[in-house]
């Protein structure tokens, strides 16, 4: 459907746009900045966001099937580590490269956008400010190609 195609394009364009805009406002510095980590509620807050994200994924027929049979505790820890690490927290993501861990899934644009929507919803549920939400999305935007295997 025409509208559906438009919505998909807008979804990924928004994600990439937010990434670009945020990068302009916050040029990379050599000093690690933990303010985003703090705005996400530190480790406990991030774990709560990822837990809520998992509940939303299971309920979302667009992507639930991709997660069937995964080790939920492992996924929860890995994604929490990754977000903690990316947001300037005292964690190190030691999981697989995004291209490798998603290579067998053939993730579509719709599925990528669905996961992004659910992450935004999970952040809303955890009272994360829009500014902090956008900063995290901007850090995740560069992973889009690897997750999609493009
Ligand atoms: C920016 C977006 C994404 C990020 C940051 C992300 C992050 C991650 C991380 C950190 C892992 C764990 C890797 C490991 O175990 O070493 C993972 C695994 C996984 N991701 Fe993603 N992911 C993203 C998008 C997606 C999408 C769109 C889907 C499907 C709709 C998806 C499905 C999965 C599944 C099923 C696993 C488990 C793989 C396994 O255990 O074999 N991910 N992801």
Helix boundaries (H) for 34-108: 35-39, 42-59, 72-86, 98-101
Predicted TM-score of the model (pTM)? 0.86
Domain ranges of the chain: 2-26+33-148
Return d(Cα 70, Cα 88) in angstroms, integer: 27
Q: Which CATH class is domain 2-26+33-148?
A: mainly alpha
Q: Is 139 in the pocket of ligand 1 (CB under 6 A)?
A: no
Q: In angstroms, what is the span from residue 102 Cα to ligand 1's centroid?
A: 6
Mean pLDDT of 75-87: 98
Q: In angstroms, what is the span from residue 109 Cα to ligand 1's centroid?
A: 14
Q: Is 96 in the pocket of ligand 1 (CB under 6 A)?
A: yes
Distance between start and end Cα atoms, the chain: 24
Mean pLDDT of 15-23: 49
> Which residue's structure tokens are 């997660």?
67
Return d(Cα 130, Cα 146) in angstroms, integer: 26
- pLDDT above 70 coverage of the chain, percent: 79
Q: What is the pLDDT of residues 101-140, one digit of tens each?
A: 999 999 999 999 999 999 999 999 999 999 999 999 999 9
Q: What is the mean pLDDT of the chain?
A: 87
Q: Is 15 in the pocket of ligand 1 (CB under 6 A)?
A: no
Per-residue pLDDT at 70? 97
- pLDDT above 90 coverage of the chain, percent: 77
What proportions of the chain, in percent to the nearest 5, are helix, strand and coil? 70, 0, 30
C-alpha torsion 130→14→103→66, nearest 10: 60
């Amino acid at each position: 459907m025409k509208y559906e195609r438009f919505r998909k394009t807008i979804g990924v364009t928004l994600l990439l746009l937010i990434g670009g805009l945020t990068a302009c406002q916050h040029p990379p510095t050599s000093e690690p900045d933990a303010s985003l980590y703090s705005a996400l509620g530190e480790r406990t807050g991030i774990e709560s966001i990822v837990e809520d994200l998992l509940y939303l994924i299971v309920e979302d027929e667009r992507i639930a099937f991709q997660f069937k049979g995964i080790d939920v505790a492992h996924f929860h820890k890995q994604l929490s580590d990754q977000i903690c690490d990316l947001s300037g927290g005292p964690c190190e993501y030691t999981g697989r490269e995004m291209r490798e861990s998603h290579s067998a899934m053939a993730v579509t644009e719709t599925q990528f956008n669905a996961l992004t929507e659910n992450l935004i919803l999970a952040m809303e549920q955890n009272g994360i400010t829009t500014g902090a939400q956008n900063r995290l999305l901007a850090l995740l935007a560069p992973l889009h190609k690897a997750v999609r295997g493009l």
